[in-house]
Every structure is written in C-alpha cells, then in structure tokens.
C-alpha cells in the first residue's frame, strides 16, 4: 500500500520496555482465553450430557495435549487477570508514573508464575 503521507515511527525504532511486552501480552492472552472459554462451554455441555460424551471429554482433557492446553489456558488466565487489575488501577488514576508502571509490570509477571505454579502444584499433588 503506497502512501504519500509521512508516517509516524513504527515499533522497531523504540528501545524495548516491559510495558510494550505486557501490553501486547494482554491482547494475546485475551484472545487465547476467549478460545479457552469455548473449551469450558464444551466441557460443561459434556458434563450435562454425561455418559459416553463426558467420558470422551474427560479423556481429551486428561490427554497430554489437553493438559498442555489447560496449562496454557491457566497461565494466560492468571496473567490476563493480574494485568487486568493493573489496568483497572490505571483507570482509577493509580500507578501512572513510569517507575510505577515498570514495578507493577514486573510484579504481575512474578505473581503470574507464582499463582500458576500454585494452581498446578495443587492439581498435580492430588487431593490430600
């Protein structure tokens, strides 16, 4: 697409900052969770159907690919939730300073790993 207009500098001219990565990750995880929500709907319908339908769904969930998708879903969900709280705090006018956005960004990343690990620790440890 040829254009005569002067264009503003694009992404590649900027030094990497955590904020840009967090921002695009929020979108990517949001889209991923949307697909995951349909997975949840599919699982609920199978649960309602019961019998062979549920056995089939449970087998898919417990398969290696199912577990991998579930892990990715949980990681994306935890990230999007925590970064969503960061966005809501911004909406209330909190944490707009550059050092604060960097600090809250790293906090979200660390907590994402911690919470996701905690979830899977409980899942894989099984019931006491």
Is 37 a binding residue for another protein by CB under 8 A? The answer is yes
Do residues 53 and 46 make contact, with C-beta atoms less than 8 angstroms apart?
Answer: yes
Work out how close the CB of 57 gets to another protein at its nearest, in angstroms, rounded to a whole number: 10
Is 103 a binding residue for another protein by CB under 8 A? The answer is no
Is 24 a binding residue for another protein by CB under 8 A? The answer is no
Is 47 a binding residue for another protein by CB under 8 A? The answer is yes
Q: At which residue do the structure tokens 């909406």 appear? A: 91
Do residues 101 and 19 make contact, with C-beta atoms less than 8 angstroms apart?
Answer: yes
Q: Which of 66, 72, 84, 95 binds another protein (CB under 8 A)?
A: 84
* 65 CB-contact burial (10 Å; exposed 0-12 / middle 13-18 / buried 19+): exposed
Is 81 a binding residue for another protein by CB under 8 A? The answer is yes
Q: Which of 59, 68, 85, 113 binds another protein (CB under 8 A)?
A: 85
d(CA 112, CA 108): 6
């Amino acid at each position: 697409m040829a254009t005569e207009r002067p264009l503003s500098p694009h992404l590649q001219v900027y030094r990497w900052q955590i904020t840009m990565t967090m921002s695009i990750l929020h979108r990517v995880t949001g889209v991923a969770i949307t697909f995951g929500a349909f997975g949840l709907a599919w699982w609920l319908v199978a649960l309602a159907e019961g019998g062979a339908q549920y056995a089939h769904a449970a087998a898919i969930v417990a398969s290696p690919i199912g577990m991998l998708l579930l892990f990715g879903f949980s990681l994306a969900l935890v990230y999007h939730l925590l970064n969503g709280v960061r966005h809501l705090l911004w909406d209330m006018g909190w944490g707009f300073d550059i050092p604060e956005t960097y600090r809250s960004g790293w906090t979200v990343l660390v907590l994402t790993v911690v919470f996701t690990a905690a979830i899977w620790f409980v899942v894989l440890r099984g019931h006491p």
